[in-house]
Amino acid sequence: MRELKYDVVVVGGGPAGTAAASRAGELGLSVALVENREVLGGVPLQCVHTGFGVHVFGEDLTGTEFIQRLIDRLEGLDVDVMLRAYVHSIEAADGWKSLNVVSPSGVARLRARAVIYAAGARERSLFEIGVTGGRPDGVYTAGEAQALMDLYGVMPGRSIVIIGSGDVGLIVARRLALEGAQVKAVVEIMPYPGGSMRNVVTCLHDFSIPLYLRHAVLRIMGARRVEKVVVARVGEDLRPVPGTEFEVECDTVIIAAGLRPNVRLLEDVGVAIDPATGGPVVNEYLETSIPGVFAAGNALVINDLVDYAVEQGELAAEGAHTFIERGIPRRGWKRVARGRNVRLAVPHYVSGERDVVIYARVRQPERRVVVQVPEAGWRLPQMGVRPPEMLRLELTRELLARAAGGAITLEVKPLE
Amino acid sequence: MSERELTCIICPAACTLRVTVTPDGRLEVRGAGCRRGVEYARLEVLEPRRVVVTVVKVRNGELPVVSVKTSRPVPKNLIREIMRATAELELEAPVEMGQVVARDICGVDLIATRRVRHVKDIN
């Protein structure tokens, strides 16, 4: 078996992995970037809409334009790009990590001082959201529908019901409406939309697409092709309210029920997973519970902006560089505790000795609030917070140094 | 006097804006938590514009379509017409990212946002 040695192996060639590989290369490390598809790029390859790169490039780009710029950054760097290469397993004994990789050129064992895991996310399926009924043709995830239309020019259907109101579903609803399909309903079980308000307005309101909040699709009906769905209102407990069922005729159902980090390889190697994010537990270097194994992008936490995935990729690369050059401190970590109305927060541990960015989501929408870390005396008043819109909080070293004890608490409180 | 209800998309507060056009033609915006919301409402009511993105057919390309965008935001009421015009288009590969693939469709150009190579150029 071929054995190849690198400073860093990056798993996944989407925005986070590509950014991580180029940053690691810029820092003078030797890098392998392992991607299982035929091309680098990941999710943005099929995103023809704008809204990408406002933070990273200071320009409003389409996903396709954004990812090309990111890929172009690899040119001239010491980065071996391996395409159609599957990471079968990761081994992290002491010191070197090994990645067993299968590709068209055979099986290889990549030996690395550090690993950056950026394998992205998968879409939640019908089976995870409790929809029963038949399994006729015409059921797609939002990502599948997007790829069909915008990579391959194929319309998934003519008369559509979308389950869930995540951002990808909203974007797909607009593309379908633009192409002349009838989007009959977007059905969301929660009392608020799953995507950003910007997408609700520019994708649904612009095209008069009805959004049914507090509703669920109970059953998909159809012999060979989808014929209709049964919808019902749900109560506070999110269970259907008897007697509220109604039918919507359609030929296609699209599932837009959110994403889950792809963490199987990390779990296999024994990395600790945070149930709140579905991704690994990390410190401020984005290092997982296994020293020298880092995570970034949607494999770490589901991001709603690609810019954040890129930022995490670069941060993980800098973490890997620190790990290789002088080691990462192993003591004195402060836990980031989740206080009132905070559903998740990443990273999970901070040193208090460096500036950090904390990515967080709230549990429920709330207006006129203050986001705060009482131990550091830090407060950020906000007009409003919503679960689909991730908070990106910058905490300086000076502030964190004020926090005594083993934890800091991130909390959201009503503004007095 | 007509009233329109809008959802502000400037920040996650998502204020509900009530916009009234007074008989003398002035705009009144209620419900905005800040000045940016008032400005947003003004633009959305008087001159709503969007960048239109879609895909256009490509002959002999590695992919059957290429993604495109309008060179600038267009008035919302022109979106249908632009979609009809782009549906008629058919390009020949290769198409470069940034290439102007059609000029003056409702006053704007159409720009490719992806590279699509010719089938014979793929190794």
pLDDT in tens, A252-283: 999 999 999 999 999 999 999 999 999 999 99
CB-based contact (8 Å) between B111 and chain A?
Answer: no
Which of A383, A386, A393 to probe by mutation at the B interface, max B CB count within 10 Å? A383
Tell whether B37 and B89 lie within a shared domain.
no
pLDDT at B1: 55
State which residues form the domain around B113: 53-121
Same domain? B57 vs B113: yes
B59 and B108 within one domain: yes
Contact A48 B11 (CB under 8 A): no
Ranges under pLDDT 50 in chain A: none
**Selected residue of A152, A197, A386 to mutate for chain B interface (largest B Cβ count, 10 A):** A197
Final residue of a structural domain among B47, B67, B82:
B47
Nearest by CB: A383 against B34, B67, B114: B34
Taking the mean position of all CA atoms in its chain, how far away is CA A189?
21
Single out the residue of A261, A279, A296, A292 nearest to residue A99, CA to CA: A292
- Answer yes or no: do B86 and B70 share one domain: yes
Indicate yes or no: CB of A62 within 8 angstroms of CB of B63: no
A interface test, pick of B10, B11, B82 with most A CB neighbours within 10 Å = B11
Residue ranges for chain B with pLDDT beneath 70:
1, 123
Q: Do B78 and B30 fall into the same domain?
A: no
Is residue A169 packed enough to be buried (19+ CB in 10 Å), middle (13-18) or exposed (0-12)? buried
Return the pLDDT at B123. 66
CA quadruple B43, B45, B49, B53: dihedral positive or negative? positive
* Whether the complex's predicted ipTM surpasses the cut of 0.85: yes
User: Residue B81 maps to which CATH number?
Assistant: 3.10.530.10
Contact B54 A206 (CB under 8 A): no
Across chain A, mean pLDDT equals 95
Q: Are residues B59 and B109 in the same domain?
A: yes
b/e A299-325 (16+ beta carbons within 10 angstroms → b): bbbbbbbbbbbbbbbbbbbbbbbbbbe
Number of domains forming the structure of chain B = 2
B59 plus B101 within the same structural domain: yes
On whether both B61 and B42 belong to a single domain, the answer is: no
Domain match, B98 and B43 both: no
Closest chain B C-alpha to A165 CA, distance in angstroms: 16
Residues B78 and B104 placed together within one structural domain of the fold: yes
Chain B contact set for A389 (CB, 8 A):
12
Residues B30 and B58 in one domain: no
Structure-block tokens of residue B64: 């059957």
Question: Which residues, other chains included, contact A277 with Cβ-Cβ below 8 Å and sequence gap of 6+?
Answer: A261, A300, A301, A302, A344, A346
Three-state secondary-structure class, residue A174: helix
Kindly state whether B31 is in contact with chain A, defined as any CB-CB distance less than 8 angstroms: no
Statement to judge: residues B70 and B109 lie in one domain: yes
